Copies of this chain bind each other. A is one copy, B any other.
């Protein structure tokens, strides 16, 4: 169901790209343990052996895809947040950037953030590194606002607040994947109204 170029032999790097692409979708759909290398192979239009010509094991294949897609995410986000503007504007821009990524690469989002099942220590380490950089980036972005709220940016509880923001955003993206008809802007607005203004607020426009 992938590239239908009939039986042509590909250059190594190209084949590699096809394999990682296939691995992304299958891993995202089934999870690590439940996916067989066979599935990835057929999805890439190739035999299982070929996977082992390019990657030494299932584990490093996953890790490769993970880091690859995370790099794309970082690039995607970085390309569309300015770093300037009011705190509210920056938060809004970041939310929009993340949802935009979720919209354009739904499988990548799933693979990166939906699963928690892998028990392999090496994989766990990679995942943890990715999460760590995310929380740090957000903590830096919101340092001023957090301290204004009484959370010293270095305390544990400030970290918790960052975690709250990240998980809520992920959760929203997850929900969006099941209700794709909602336009992105509406989603951003909803998130801003809760996270920025709070549930107690009577309808009051948010920073635009």
Q: Show the binding face of A for B, using Cβ within 8 Å.
A: 29-34, 87-88, 91, 114-119, 142, 145, 148-151, 156-157, 159-161, 163-168, 170-172, 174-176, 179, 181-182, 186-187, 190-191, 193-203, 206-207
Contacts and interface: CB of A to CB of B under 8 A. Distances in A.
A201 B200 CA distance: 11
A164 B142 contact: no
A179 B164 contact: no
B167 A179 contact: no
Contacts of A159: 175, 179
B170 A201 contact: no
A10 B172 CA distance: 47
Contacts of A115: 115-117
B171 A156 contact: no
17 contacts: A31-B117, A31-B118, A31-B119, A87-B200, A88-B200, A115-B117, A148-B203, A150-B203, A151-B190, A160-B172, A160-B176, A161-B193, A163-B171, A163-B174, A167-B171, A168-B171, A198-B200
B182 A172 contact: no
A198 B203 contact: no
Number of copies: 2
B164 A190 contact: yes
Contacts of A207: 200
A74 B193 CA distance: 29
Nearest to A116: B114
B32 A194 contact: no
Contacts of A174: 163, 167
